[in-house]
Amino acid sequence: MAIIKQQDVIDSIEDALQYISYYHPIDFIQALEKAYNKEESTAAKDAIAQILINSRMSAQGKRPICQDTGIVTCFVKVGMEVQWDKTDMTVQQMVDEGTRRAYLNPDNPLRASIVKDPAGKRINTKDNTPAVVHIDMVPGAGLEIMIAAKGGGSENKTKMAMLNPSDSIADWVVKTLPTMGAGWCPPGMLGIGIGGTAEKAGVLAKESLMDPVNIQDLIERGPQNAEEELRLEIFERVNKLGIGAQGLGGLTTVVDVKINSVPTHAASKPVVMIPNCAATRHVHFHLDGSGPADLTPPKLEEWPEITWEVGENVRRVNVDDLGKADISDWKTGETVLLSGTILTGRDAAHKRIQDMLAKGEKLPVDFTDKFIYYVGPVDAIGDEAVGPAGPTTATRMDKFTEMMLAETGLLGTIGKAERGAQTCESIKNHKSVYLMAVGGAAYLVSKAIKKAKVVAFEDMGMEAIYEFVVEDMPVTVAVDSTGESAHVTGPEIWKVKIQEAEDKAKT
């Protein structure tokens, strides 16, 4: 029998969430390094380089890998012989208290993203609680905890299907994955849950993402059951799609595929697919009554020494002196370094702007010939101008883009992932551009931000409109003024190249 102290659970949850905010799992870093070394697409290789450099910087600076510090998901397996030192808190309350303390830590504050009343006013809870907690009773006298911080960009791409028993799961994955776009920030992992009922398959998929990256070990020894065969088939076929890092086209879209399954009804085949992004964050620990978890920091030598250097064709610009004529010759795939003043804004800010314009009210900021960066930064500490400030998924702002370009004088937009066909057409019609920053490189991006201040909608917290003064902020032209999208052309090109290479190898 073990007596588990509530305080040990709370302290362990707090420490674990701080730990995973700035330490990638080393197995994931090793997988990314292998992907970097074999990548042949320049755009994808550059993106992976930025992700790896950002990861090392975050480990050194103990600051978040990504500005979206996630919704907390915690799997707690409680031994049947466990007793508690106190009974005034539930396991959910213990996890929530640890989460609250972790996200409000003054030395490394994490962005609070959780909103209550999700179908109504969507008011931020201010401390990232409540966590999503799954509790199992298992044999034994200890406590096993697996905890993750899951970003909204990847979580939003979750897909579920009730397949027919004779349907191919691999076919469904390969058909579905391209519809997910790049908002989940590949390269990452796919977690797949099969069986049970719909809600059980979702939990299975999420829990599978807590496992280590080991697909290369499986390839070397060969599959030993149908599940392992399916993992390998999906891994191979998905990477042949050519989606690549950040959806720009390349050889590696996923670094592993995980599968959990349980028995199901003879007439059913529930399948859930959940991607993990380039900011994969999770840790696994045990409590036996002897104290809180001891999480050993990885050594910096375990990160690869990778540098990212700007190519010769880079374009350096002062965004304060740009007009439509100046951006008309920017081409898809081109690297641009931005200096000057940009504005920020996410979903809530765009909705309020829409409401103000509909009422004929004057906007609090002038967007004329400005770029808007889709970002919700982490609070700054020390001498930082701003905390980690990577891009959010631009696709969510598609519904507002025509309004912004037509009615505010906005010059261009900055975010991550693809834009929809209608938005690309708007960009073309207004001679605008869409620039892409690398998702999963938030701390690296923040170093280019020299000054930051809130200029509108302060009540929205991280959704407020900021004014950033940036210096050499690295971006890629993802949609140029002709409407050409790198997220369309890149994967198309690399899918063909991968197939041609495979055909050549067979001859």
pLDDT, tens digit (0-9, with 9 covering 90-100), for 239-296:
999 999 999 999 999 999 999 999 999 999 999 999 999 999 999 999 999 999 999 9
Amino acid letter at 189?
M
Q: CA quadruple 357, 362, 368, 372: dihedral positive or negative?
A: negative
Q: Could you report the per-residue pLDDT of 305-345, keeping only the tens digit for each?
A: 888 776 667 899 999 999 999 999 999 989 999 999 999 99
354, part of any domain? yes
Dihedral, 273, 275, 280, 285 alpha carbons, nearest 10: 0
Residue 288 CA to residue 276 CA, distance in Å, equals 30
- What is the pLDDT, as a whole number, of residue 310? 67
**502 alpha-carbon distance from chain centroid:** 31
Determine contact, residues 127/112, Cβ cutoff 8 Å.
yes
Tokens encoding 433: 């551009």
Residues 471-498: tens digit of each pLDDT: 999 999 999 999 999 999 999 999 999 9
Give the count of domains, the chain. Answer: 1
Sorting pLDDT into bands at 50, 70 and 90, what band is 505? confident
The domain containing residue 464 runs over which residues?
315-490
Q: How far apart are CA 210 and CA 191, in angstroms?
A: 9
166 located within any domain: no
In a domain? residue 374: yes
pLDDT at 161: 98
- Using alpha carbons only, what angle is made at residue 305 by residues 304 and 306, rounded to the nearest 5 degrees? 100
- Domain-located, residue 269: no
pLDDT of residue 99: 98
Q: Do the domain assignments include residue 412?
A: yes
- Which whole number is the average pLDDT over 397-422? 97
pLDDT of residue 272: 98
Q: How many CB atoms lie within 10 A of CB 364?
A: 12
Residue 394 located in a structural domain: yes
Q: Are strands 412-415 and 433-436 parallel, antiparallel or unpaired?
A: parallel
Percent of the chain's residues with pLDDT above 70: 99
Here the CATH number for the domain that contains residue 340 is: 3.20.130.10
- Is residue 503 situated within a structural domain? no
Residue 460 forms part of a structural domain: yes
pLDDT of residue 478: 97
In angstroms, how far is CA 292 from the centroid of its own chain? 29
pLDDT digits (tens, 9 = 90+) for 75-120: 999 999 999 999 999 999 999 999 999 999 999 999 999 999 999 9
Whether residue 459 has pLDDT greater than 70: yes
